[in-house]
Amino acid sequence: MKPVRSIVVYDDVAVEINSPEIEAGQLWLTTDDLARATRLELKPQGVCRNEKCFPLPEASRHELVRNDLDKTWFNLTAFAQLVHQPVAHENTGDFSAWYFGLRSDQRQELASLQAPDFTLPDLDGKLHSLSDFRGKKVFLVTWASW
């Protein structure tokens, strides 16, 4: 397997990983890289960050943890699936990028499908609030410069 350079974005922080293992769409990191990229640590009780630990099911531990001669590897994508964390990735030859979204325990579910009220100026500078259009169809176009 040839070396691949990867960028891992976790909690909106991008960290470069110089030699992960990528197998069948799965991202394996050494425990050192795991801690550096995610601040998660592999402990006997599971995968932990500070006081919060996620126990690893014994039946699927082999899918999450692998020991080589001098390194312990952790399958971050399998863990993401376990904790219902969305993952997006792109591989292009010797480079890959991985984005890990919020875990299910971090997401706030919408209390309703009603959009919050906000006020923005139009092109002439006149202010309009979303609540001014209550009961009417609104088409909202957004744009960002990043």
What confidence tier does 79 reach under pLDDT thresholds 50, 70, 90?
Answer: very high
pLDDT of 144: 66
Beta-carbon contacts of residue 28 (< 8 Å; ≥ 6 apart): 20, 21, 22, 66, 73, 74, 75, 76
Residue 106: left (phi > 0), alpha (psi -120 to 50), or beta? alpha
Q: Which pair of structure tokens corresponds to residue 20? A: 């992960």
d(CA 75, CA 22): 9
Domain boundaries, the chain: 5-100
pLDDT of 109: 63
